[in-house]
Amino acid sequence: MLDFLELDDGGLLHFQPNFLPAEVSDRCFEQLRDQVDWHQKPALFGHMQPRLSASFGDVGVTYRYSGTVNIALPWIAPLLEIKQRIESVFGSYNFCLLNRYRSGADSMGMHADDEPGMGNVIGSVSLGASRSFRIRHNRTKETRTFPAGNGTLIIMAGTMQQFCKHDVPKTKADVGERINLTFRQIAMETN
Ligand SMILES: O=C(O)CCC(=O)C(=O)O
Ligand SMILES: [Fe+2]
């Protein structure tokens, strides 16, 4: 069983640098960067998301969040390889959202992944440049920062999405590209 940090109000977080061997991280980073059809998606109020993204998963899985509809493309080899490695230690997943941060100017704002139909276990793997992954408790405002580097695994579980938010802030440091994979279990839409 993995060790989980116990957050206030029942959130659980597992943080494991170098979960993937460096050669797997390096190869998967290059394969995903070069093979995936990356898109910059619209955000709220006519803005664009400050990053690129893509969605993969089992046939028929659709993930809707902040006004975007993301129909899963069929799994590709590097994603299946990493999915199997995470599933061998924790959880099971039918969808993966990929985010590509091209430089320190790309980011993800504070949010929770608490959409209806979203399983409470999210397995997140980072590839490429290291960026700060921050979590903030909604009530206590306690904030913690984890360095999400090449091959790092972060698992969010328990009630974390109900009581905490997380982000990847912009940085002025001269950082290279980072690709993050969040594996999720999403309920199939029945209508
Ligand atoms: O890039 C990251 O580490 C976080 C990604 C994230 O929070 C998400 O995809 O919902
Ligand atoms: Fe998230």
pLDDT digits (tens, 9 = 90+) for 32-89: 999 999 999 998 888 999 999 999 999 999 988 777 888 899 999 999 999 999 999 9
Residue from 15, 124, 125, 160 whose mutation best tests the ligand 1 pocket (most atoms within 8 A of CB): 124
Topology (CATH) of 5-184: Jelly Rolls (2.60.120)
- The domain spans of the chain are 5-184
Residues 142-185: tens digit of each pLDDT: 999 999 999 999 999 999 999 999 999 999 999 999 999 999 99
Ligand 2 centre distance from Cα of residue 133 (Å): 10
DSSP, residue by residue, 97-133 = EEEEE-STT--EEEE----TTB-S-EEEEEEES-EEE
- The reply to whether 184 sits in an annotated binding site is yes
pTM above 0.80, yes or no: yes
Residues 85-134: tens digit of each pLDDT: 999 999 999 999 999 999 999 999 999 999 989 999 999 999 999 999 99
